[in-house]
């Protein structure tokens, strides 16, 4: 099993292109160089949003933790995220039910809802300045979509005890100004500046005693008692557990038959004139294969993303930027005709996906004490939060049955 992105050759600049609106003038956290070999309880490899969430949680639990990043933490995929922090999974509940049965699918959805609630509570309690806003989502039928499919999804969600309201065509048009067959309006999601969120968590973790180290993990030697990690310095780090949070660049020995890498594109407009945004600033996403999504920002921009395809090569992704911008502008014009379509930011990034839309979280098969935190798809950050809780429990020897839904070696649901 292997990743399609070479772990040695794929740097942050290969993971994303263009410029996103994130980070502002915040101070960038940077690790210290290793000057000796060290031991720690848990080593987190990767200082993006996944590693930051894991490190902050472990540090808050009083567990000794080091975070390793070979580049500037946060400037990998985290900086490319549109940061729609949704509990609704890329794979609709109806689809997930076909894969795993209703009870398990419903339980996974409820875990996802709890993860966003947990993230919201965390950001509020730590008061992380990251433009975090609680949002509802508006899951709209595609341009050619029918209301019956969305209605069936809504009924299934109701049965699962998930919050949400079915919106008929006329109400959708009169309340939201959106001309689609139907939608599901659901509370419980959020948006944020992902880079400020990630850096804020990392700084909190360091304030709680975590060590941030500037080095590359090159080899992992795992045994029943510890993992020794070689680095690109003369020194090694020995840990009781290692959490791999290297984003879409997975070491060769990790992998999953379920996983593939694609690309996604996004633009942010100039700030819109007052009252020129949909009323509640809902996170909008479309029930289509081509995957279109839109959100607003605190300073009044519209971010619209999608046009995903299976491009992996960074140069090829960059070369498609102009065509994708045109596609996104046209899509914006159809979704929200009143928008000023002037582009202020345009960017793209590698995008990991799994067949069931679920992340890869848990022990790395065959490598004792190595744990993976790979939150894939449009719910990447929601799943990163979930990973931080699951992996902290596992590193304390506390396993729960529901963790298995995300296991790296779970069989393919599509045969
Ligand atoms: C265009 C786009 C839109 C997206 N929109 C959303 C969205 O709306 N909502 C959402 O939830 N998710 C979204 N995602 C997905 C989300 O961005 C990712 O799930 C998330 O950023 C992954 O974070 P990460 O910390 O795992 O990876 P990264 O941010 O890539 O961090 C991994 C870190 O590991 C380091 N590293 C790698 N290898 C090593 C090594 N050997 N040694 C030391 N350090 C190493 C890297 O330098 C990097 O800093 C989107 C992604 C893209 C591309």
When mean pLDDT is compared over 143-157, 280-294, 300-314, 382-396, the highest value belongs to 382-396
Residue 142's SS3 state is coil
Question: Residues 359-383: pLDDT tens digits?
Answer: 999 999 999 999 999 977 789 999 9
- CB 311 less than 6 A from any atom of ligand 1: no
Residue with tokens 């048009």: 173
Minimum CA distance residue for ligand 1 atom 14:
81
pLDDT computed for residue 2 by the predictor? 38
Q: Is residue 24 part of a domain?
A: no
- CB 294 less than 6 A from any atom of ligand 1: no
pLDDT computed for residue 7 by the predictor? 87
Question: Residues 242-270: pLDDT tens digits?
Answer: 999 999 888 989 877 788 889 999 999 99
Buried b / exposed e along 12-39 (16+ C-beta atoms within 10 A): bebbbbbebbbbeebeebebeebeeeee
Mean pLDDT of the chain: 94
What mean pLDDT comes out for the span 6-35? 91
Q: Give the span between the Cα atoms of 232 and 262, in whole angstroms.
A: 29
Same domain, 67 and 158: no
Q: Is residue 284 part of a domain?
A: yes
How many angstroms is it from 248 CA to the middle of ligand 1? 6
Q: Give the span between the Cα atoms of 133 and 322, in whole angstroms.
A: 31
How many angstroms is it from 181 CA to the middle of ligand 1? 34
Q: Is residue 415 part of a domain?
A: no
Angle between helices 93-100 and 147-159 (to 10 degrees): 60
Q: Is residue 340 part of a domain?
A: yes
Please say if the pLDDT value at position 3 is more than 50: no
- Which of 240 and 10 is assigned the larger pLDDT? 240
Please say if the pLDDT value at position 4 is more than 90: no
Q: Is residue 116 part of a domain?
A: no
- Rounded to two decimals, the pTM is 0.97
Total domains in the fold of the chain: 2
Minimum CA distance residue for ligand 1 atom 33:
46
Same domain, 342 and 375: no
**CATH number of the domain within which 224 lies:** 3.50.50.60
- CB 84 less than 6 A from any atom of ligand 1: yes
Question: Residues 56-67: pLDDT tens digits?
Answer: 999 999 999 999
Same domain, 294 and 158: yes
Question: Residues 393-405: pLDDT tens digits?
Answer: 999 999 999 999 9
Same domain, 140 and 250: no
What mean pLDDT comes out for the span 202-206? 98
% of residues, the chain, pLDDT over 90: 82
What mean pLDDT comes out for the span 236-246? 98
Domain extent at residue 324: 134-188+258-354
Q: Give the span between the Cα atoms of 30 and 28, in whole angstroms.
A: 6
Same domain, 221 and 329: no
**CATH number of the domain within which 145 lies:** 3.30.9.10
- The H-or-E segment that residue 265 falls in is strand 259-269
Q: Count other C-beta atoms under 10 Å from residue 392's C-beta.
A: 22
Question: Residues 308-329: pLDDT tens digits?
Answer: 898 989 999 999 999 999 999 9
What mean pLDDT comes out for the span 79-100? 96
Q: End of a domain among 354, 371, 393?
A: 354
Residue 389 near residue 57, CB atoms below 8 Å: yes
How many angstroms is it from 202 CA to the middle of ligand 1? 14
Please give the sequence-ordered ranges of beta strands (E in DSSP) within 313-369, or none if there are none: 343-354, 360-363
Neighbouring residues of 244: CB distance < 8 A, sequence distance ≥ 6: 45, 46, 250, 251, 254, 364, 370, 371, 372, 373, 374
Please say if the pLDDT value at position 156 is more than 60: yes
Minimum CA distance residue for ligand 1 atom 4:
81
Position 291 confidence tier, pLDDT thresholds 50, 70, 90: confident
How many angstroms is it from 36 CA to the middle of ligand 1? 29
Same domain, 184 and 262: yes
- CB 357 less than 6 A from any atom of ligand 1: no
- CB 206 less than 6 A from any atom of ligand 1: no
- CB 69 less than 6 A from any atom of ligand 1: yes
- CB 308 less than 6 A from any atom of ligand 1: no
Same domain, 243 and 277: no
Q: Give the span between the Cα atoms of 152 and 155, in whole angstroms.
A: 5
Q: Give the span between the Cα atoms of 98 and 118, in whole angstroms.
A: 28
Pocket-testing residue among 131, 325, 349, 380, ligand 1, by greatest number of atoms within 8 A of Cβ: 380
How many angstroms is it from 410 CA to the middle of ligand 1? 22
Same domain, 329 and 386: no
Q: Is residue 111 part of a domain?
A: no
Q: Give the span between the Cα atoms of 369 and 225, in whole angstroms.
A: 8
Residue 345 near residue 278, CB atoms below 8 Å: no
Same domain, 237 and 333: no
Q: Is residue 20 part of a domain?
A: no
CA 371 to chain centre: 18
Buried b / exposed e along 59-74 (16+ C-beta atoms within 10 A): bbeebbbbbbbbbbbb
Same domain, 309 and 350: yes
Residue 5 near residue 249, CB atoms below 8 Å: yes
Minimum CA distance residue for ligand 1 atom 41:
217
Minimum CA distance residue for ligand 1 atom 38:
246
Minimum CA distance residue for ligand 1 atom 3:
81
Neighbouring residues of 228: CB distance < 8 A, sequence distance ≥ 6: 220, 221, 236, 237, 238
Q: Is residue 318 part of a domain?
A: yes
- Which of 53 and 30 is assigned the larger pLDDT? 53
Please say if the pLDDT value at position 300 is more than 80: yes
């Amino acid at each position: 099993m292997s990743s399609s992105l070479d772990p040695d050759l794929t740097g942050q600049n290969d993971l994303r292109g263009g410029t996103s609106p994130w980070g502002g003038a915040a101070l960038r956290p940077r690790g210290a160089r290793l000057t000796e070999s060290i031991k720690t309880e848990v080593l987190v490899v990767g200082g993006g949003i996944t590693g930051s969430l894991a490190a902050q949680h472990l540090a808050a639990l009083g567990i000794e933790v080091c975070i390793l990043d070979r580049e500037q933490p946060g400037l990998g995929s985290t900086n490319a995220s549109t940061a729609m922090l949704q509990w609704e999974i890329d794979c609709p509940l109806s689809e997930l039910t076909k894969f795993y049965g209703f009870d398990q699918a419903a339980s996974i959805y409820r875990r996802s809802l709890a993860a966003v609630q947990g993230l919201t509570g965390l950001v509020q309690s730590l008061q992380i300045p990251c433009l975090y806003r609680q949002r509802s989502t508006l899951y709209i039928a595609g341009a050619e979509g029918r209301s019956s499919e969305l209605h069936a999804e809504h009924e299934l969600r109701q049965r699962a005890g998930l919050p949400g309201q079915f919106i008929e065509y006329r109400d959708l048009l009169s309340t939201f100004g959106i001309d689609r067959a139907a939608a599901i309006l659901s509370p419980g999601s959020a948006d944020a500046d992902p880079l400020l969120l990630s850096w804020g968590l990392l700084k909190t973790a360091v304030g709680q005693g975590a060590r941030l180290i500037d080095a590359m993990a090159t080899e992992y030697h795992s045994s029943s008692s510890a993992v020794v990690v070689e680095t690109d310095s003369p020194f090694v780090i020995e840990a009781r557990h290692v959490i791999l949070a290297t984003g879409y660049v997975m070491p060769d020995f990790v992998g999953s038959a379920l996983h593939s890498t694609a690309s996604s594109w996004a633009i942010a407009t100039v700030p819109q004139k007052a009252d020129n945004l949909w009323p509640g600033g809902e996170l909008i996403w479309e029930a289509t294969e081509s995957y279109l999504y839109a959100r607003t920002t605190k300073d009044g921009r519209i971010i619209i993303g999608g046009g995903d395809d299976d491009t992996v090569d960074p140069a090829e992704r960059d070369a498609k930027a102009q065509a994708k911008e045109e596609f996104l502008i046209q899509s914006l014009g159809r979704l929200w005709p009143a928008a000023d379509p002037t582009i202020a930011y345009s960017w793209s990034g590698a995008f990991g996906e799994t067949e069931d839309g679920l992340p890869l979280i848990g022990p790395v098969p065959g490598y004792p004490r190595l744990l993976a935190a790979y939150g894939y798809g449009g719910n990447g950050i929601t799943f990163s939060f979930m990973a931080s809780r699951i992996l902290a429990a596992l590193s304390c020897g506390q396993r729960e049955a529901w963790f298995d839904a995300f296991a790296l070696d779970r069989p393919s649901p599509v045969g």
